[in-house]
Amino acid sequence: MTSTPSDAPDNKPLDFIRAIIEEDLQSGRYERVVTRFPPEPNGFLHIGHAKSICLNFGIAREYHSVCHLRFDDTNPSKESVEYVEAITEDVRWLGFDWGEHLYYASDYFDRLYDFAVQLIRMGKAYVCHLSADQIREQRGTLTEPGRESPYRDRPVEENLRLFEQMKNGELADGTCVLRARIDMASPNILMRDPVLYRILRTTHHRTADRWCIYPMYDFTHCLSDMIEGITHSLCTLEFENNRPLYDWVLDTLDTPCHPRQIEFARLNINYTVMSKRKLLRLVNENRVDGWDDPRMLTISGLRRRGYTPASIRRFCDLIGVGRRESWIDMGVLENAVREDLNESAPRVMGVLRPLKVVITNYPEGQTEQFEALNHPQKPEMGTRTVPFSREIFIEADDFMEDPPKKFHRLGPGREVRLRYAYLVTCDKVIKNDRGEVTELHCTHDPASRGGSAPDGRKVKGTIHWVSARHAVEAEVRLYDRLFTVDHPDMDREKDFKEFLNPDSLVVLSGCKLEPSLATARPEDRFQFERQGYFCPDTRDARPGRPVFNRIVTLRDTWKKISGQT
């Protein structure tokens, strides 16, 4: 086999992992590159996993190689097929393909058992009857060495017999464990005779009740990597302490290859929580609408929210990979979708908080069709037709009774352009008994048909509108960050749920959308001009009852100028 050159763009500096891989290929340490993404099926994938997925599958792609999808399913008490299915779907949706290489650590249970027996035969593992508490107690502390187990020097034959009894279900849960025989005085606590197997009578989602002993992570992971011929085993920083053990197992056992573990910093994003444990709590305690709540940074949540796979890949590309703990600003993620959707999303008009406007000098009963660009910068995306009539809706925010000088929109006596339609001037403000503006009377300039005046007068403001008679009524859901503080799970006293943002979801009903939106399909994404990007909610939208999710807002310079929040 010959080494395969990377396809990575050479205009960009290599991250430290790709640099190591290049070295390994050049030095001949490895002849090819095989990676793997090894999720435990005990929860849904989130944006942090996407970083790992893009890294592992991305490297495989660059080296014309493969990335295995392997479920690390060694703890049946927390795992289930539902998670396996969700994870599979998410990885595929992100745009990656593992070909034939779908594996389960549980597929290796027989071989793992044999490796354990081998270790026992070598005098490198023993069955320990100490209780969990006793093991902990004898493990020592960060500064004191541990004490050796009284069972440490059991004869090989006895260990073999006992381990077989464990496997055969002759011993109750917790009776004993299989431990590696390494060094109770090691400064690395993980090397102080770590547990390799425990007895666990729980039905496994794949092997059912065939096993009542299950291998631990440190024993399983390195051997699974080895069995699959993985060359570079990429994981997060907290596994750095496990690397000596990873290497010990593979060095001690007679194995044909030895994958290289490389650790990188996990992804942190502010104003959210990332751990599966915390996400699970939000789900279980009904603080969100399930794992795919559009406010959650799970892959399924982002999908339902309307994020594109390309935007998530782009995000992972932007943040890079390194070894320092870092916090990425939520804005970077938002920027990645905007970048993608700005290119691809057709533009439409939708009024979220409608204010009725009557064009008093426009003939009653008349309708005109205006041609609107689907994408002003991309004529190839075509045009559509938008109906106009005497009564329309505009955005309530686009009118101010007493506007400041810099406000370019509508106000009493002010003229504004209705996008693609006419220039209109506000003549009259109608209010209810509470003093709230309920309706506007305007006059249009018939000569400004299409939006520009023949006399060339400049109108600074252009606002969007929807014909009242033709409007599609819809529910629109506006999302904001789930938490009010940048590091919700780093407060010593308060639980992270105390920082949930009560305004993270705002449901608007009675929104008025242009008629073309009546036929929106689940995969469609639109830019509601001047508002943001939106998509139909895949769970709640029904024919005749449209529901749209706001994916992300547009950048809003006016908000900054006016000092709104």
Partner RNA sequence: UGGGGCGUCGUCAAGCGGUAAGACACAAGACUUUGACUCUUGCAUUCGCAGGUUCGAAUCCUGCCGCCCCAGCCA
Catalytic residue numbers read 40, 266, 276
Q: Are 487 and 270 in contact (CB under 8 A)?
A: yes
Residues numbered 412 to 451 that lie near RNA (CB under 7 A) are 417, 419-420, 450-451
Q: Are 350 and 514 in contact (CB under 8 A)?
A: yes
User: CB within 8 A of 143, min separation 6: which ones?
Assistant: none
Residues numbered 4 to 23 that lie near RNA (CB under 7 A) are 13-16, 19
CB of 73 to RNA, least distance (A): 8
Comparison of 173 and 523: residue with beta carbon closer to RNA: 173
214 touches RNA by CB under 7 A = yes
* Sequential DSSP letters for 396-432: GGGB-SS--TT--SB-TT-EEEETTS-EEEEEEEEE-
Beta bridge partners of 269: 328
Residues numbered 62 to 121 that lie near RNA (CB under 7 A) are 72, 74-75, 78
How far, in Å, CA of 476 to CA of 252, rounded?
60
Residue entry with tokens 């959650």: 296
User: CA-CA distances (angstroms) from residue 451 to 374, 399, 444, 466?
Assistant: 17, 19, 10, 15
Taking CB under 7 A as the criterion, the residue among 238, 371, 401, 495 binding RNA is: 238
Comparison of 314 and 390: residue with beta carbon closer to RNA: 314
Taking CB under 7 A as the criterion, the residue among 5, 99, 155, 174 binding RNA is: 174
Number of residues that bind RNA (CB under 7 A): 90
Comparison of 218 and 514: residue with beta carbon closer to RNA: 218
Comparison of 122 and 132: residue with beta carbon closer to RNA: 132
Q: Find the part of the chain contacting RNA (CB under 7 A) among 214-222, 282-290, 382-390, 544-552.
A: 214-222
Residue 503: helix, strand or coil by DSSP? coil
Residues numbered 454 to 513 that lie near RNA (CB under 7 A) are 461-462
CB of 113 to RNA, least distance (A): 15
Please, what is the Cα angle at 421 between 420 and 424, to 5 degrees?
130
Residues numbered 306 to 325 that lie near RNA (CB under 7 A) are 318-325
Residues numbered 114 to 153 that lie near RNA (CB under 7 A) are 130-132, 135-136, 139, 141-143
Comparison of 286 and 557: residue with beta carbon closer to RNA: 557
CB of 255 to RNA, least distance (A): 20
Nearest CA to 192 out of 179, 205, 204, 183 is that of 183
Q: Is the dihedral of CA 205, 210, 213, 218 positive or negative?
A: negative
Residue 468: helix, strand or coil by DSSP? coil
Q: What are phi and psi of 57, to 5 degrees?
A: -70, -30
Q: Find the part of the chain contacting RNA (CB under 7 A) among 50-58, 182-190, 467-475, 506-514.
A: 182-190
CB of 275 to RNA, least distance (A): 10
CB of 530 to RNA, least distance (A): 4
DSSP 302: H
DSSP 143: S
Residue entry with tokens 């595929």: 92
Residues numbered 258 to 317 that lie near RNA (CB under 7 A) are 265
Residues numbered 502 to 521 that lie near RNA (CB under 7 A) are none
Comparison of 272 and 304: residue with beta carbon closer to RNA: 272
Comparison of 67 and 213: residue with beta carbon closer to RNA: 213
102-104 and 66-71 as β-strands: parallel, antiparallel, unpaired? parallel
Comparison of 131 and 168: residue with beta carbon closer to RNA: 131
Burial class (CB in 10 A: 0-12, 13-18, 19+), 437: middle
Taking CB under 7 A as the criterion, the residue among 23, 329, 371, 498 binding RNA is: 329
Residue span 343-382 as binding mask against RNA, x where in contact by CB under 7 A, dash where not: ----x---------------------------xxx-----
Round to the nearest angstrom and report the end-to-end CA distance of the chain.
60
Taking CB under 7 A as the criterion, the residue among 176, 442, 472, 476 binding RNA is: 176
CB of 254 to RNA, least distance (A): 24
Nearest CA to 101 out of 4, 18, 225, 2 is that of 225
